[in-house]
Amino acid sequence: MDKGFFDRTSPEFAARRAEARKLLDSLDPAMQDGAVTADPARQAWFEAVYDLAKGDPARVPWANLAPHPLSQAWVAAQAEGLNGLRILDVGCGLGDNAECFAAAGAHVTAFDFVGEAITWAKQRFPESKVAYAQGDLFALPDAWLQAFDLIHECYTLQALPPDLLLQALAALKSALAPGGRLLIVARAREEAEEFKGPPWPLPPSIFEGAKRQGLTTLSIEDIPAVPGGGSRHWRALLRRAEDA
Would you tell me which residues interact with ligand SAM (CB under 6 A)? 41, 46, 62, 68, 91-93, 97, 112-114, 117, 136-138, 154-156, 159
Partners of 182 in the β-ladder: 151, 238
Which of 45/207 has CB closer to ligand SAM? 45
Task: Report how far residue 17's alpha carbon sits from residue 62's, in angstroms, rounded to the nearest whole number.
Answer: 10
Which of 53/154 has CB closer to ligand SAM? 154
Name residues whose C-beta falls within 8 Å of residue 229's C-beta, 6 or more positions apart in sequence.
Answer: none
DSSP element (H, E) containing 217: strand 215-223
Supply the minimum distance, in Å, between the C-beta of residue 133 and ligand SAM: 10
Which of 88/114 has CB closer to ligand SAM? 114
Name residues whose C-beta falls within 8 Å of residue 178's C-beta, 6 or more positions apart in sequence.
Answer: 146, 240, 241, 242, 243, 244
Name residues whose C-beta falls within 8 Å of residue 25's C-beta, 6 or more positions apart in sequence.
Answer: 31
Peptide bond into 198 cis (omega under 30): yes
Which of 36/84 has CB closer to ligand SAM? 36
Which of 62/242 has CB closer to ligand SAM? 62
Supply the minimum distance, in Å, between the C-beta of residue 130 and ligand SAM: 13
Name residues whose C-beta falls within 8 Å of residue 66's C-beta, 6 or more positions apart in sequence.
Answer: 8, 72, 96
Supply the minimum distance, in Å, between the C-beta of residue 243 and ligand SAM: 27
Supply the minimum distance, in Å, between the C-beta of residue 155 and ligand SAM: 4
Supply the minimum distance, in Å, between the C-beta of residue 118 and ligand SAM: 9
Which residue of this chain has its Cβ atom nearest to ligand SAM in the complex? 91
